[in-house]
Structure 1
Amino acid sequence: MTSDPAAGAATQGWTPGRRLGVDVGTVRVGVALSDATGTLASPLVTLRRAKDQSDLDRLAELVVTEEVVEVVVGLPTHLSGASGASARDASAYARALASRIGDVPVHLVDERLSTVTATSHLRAGGIDARRQRAVIDQAAAVVILQSHLDGRSRTGTDSRGRHS
């Protein structure tokens, strides 16, 4: 598991296949899935966080059934870049998921403002605040995953020209 979104592919280059985006909350976990080319993220499901960690088991099942080649977990850092309790929780969640999915890489990526962006997109799409609650976690996972996908080119370099 790595916190650098480009580090996991440094030795592999861009691997074709589906990617899973995960927005970890204290109550719910939003999940998004990319298309097979790794170009477009779409909402998939919202899972309820469970004390028995059945949500992690369900994510591990999705990795297998959807033939996922990479998992991207949002790391909710403060605007200053500092890590708080939510970031520590997301890191622990990513480690627990990584231990369940074998060789599929799990990356932590900066997700500052992903929920704000998702809320804005939902509002622009005409979804009122009451209906947003049911899909906001998935929408945030889409923002996290799409940002990760957009930051990589298919040639193995990220959007800043660094080799990934």
Structure 2
Amino acid sequence: MVEQAGTGAVEIILGFDFGIKRIGIAMGNTLTGLAQPLAVVKAIDNAARFQQIGQLISEWRPARLVVGEPRHPDGAEHEMTLRCRRFANQLHGRFSLPVELVDERYSSSVIPSRRGEVIDDKAAAIILQQYFDDHANHN
């Protein structure tokens, strides 16, 4: 069982797979330490994106947010690394929640998909599951 250090309180956490066209969102909690796909935000306009994200935050009331941080296979940063960091900063600024970045180098590559299938929420679940697994190993 994964617990918040010192409190034992169960926390809901939302995970994000940021993309220019879509944002995948997953949810999980620290009691089970399991992530599951939740939603895909398809709005390109920032106001519409953050409105949809805000509705999910109001509904689920997470204690923190996790955002995948893409990098090249060798760990080097690229354009999307900076965009994801900016997105994470915007989440923190708009919703006043702690935001953590998780290495997402291989999140989409491990998901079997059919041509044209939207897998962003599944990628978000892999990112969030990695967060849970990393924190379980450190407690």
TM-score, length basis structure 2:
0.86
Query: Judging changes above 3 Å, is the alpha-carbon distance between structure 1 residues 52 and 147 closer, same or farther for their aligned structure 2 residues?
Result: closer
CA distance in 1 between counterparts of 2:68 and 2:80 reads 10
For structure 2, the residue ranges without an aligned partner over 5 or more in a row are none
- Of 64, 75, 100, which aligns to 1:107? 100
CA distance in 2 between counterparts of 1:49 and 1:14 reads 37
C-alpha contact (below 8 Å) 2:14/2:27 kept by paired residues:
yes
Per-residue CA deviation, residues 70-122 of structure 1 (Å, 9 max, x unaligned), is 100000011111111011111111111111111x2111111111000123xx5
- Of 30, 38, 42, which aligns to 1:44? 38
Q: Structure 2 counterpart of 1:99, which letter?
A: G
Flag as ranges the 4+ runs of structure 1 deviating above 6 A: 11-14
Task: Tell me by how many angstroms 1:53 deviates.
Answer: 2.8
How many residues were matched structurally? 136
For structure 1, the residue ranges without an aligned partner over 5 or more in a row are 1-8, 123-128, 154-158
RMSD, aligned α-carbons: 2.2
TM-score, length basis structure 1:
0.74
2:100 maps to 1:151? no
2:70 maps to 1:76? yes
Task: Tell me by how many angstroms 1:38 deviates.
Answer: 5.0
Identity %: 29
2:87 maps to 1:93? yes
Query: Judging changes above 3 Å, is the alpha-carbon distance between structure 1 residues 130 and 39 closer, same or farther for their aligned structure 2 residues?
Result: same
Task: Tell me by how many angstroms 1:29 deviates.
Answer: 0.4
Corresponding residue number in structure 2 for 1:156: none
C-alpha contact (below 8 Å) 2:68/2:127 kept by paired residues:
yes
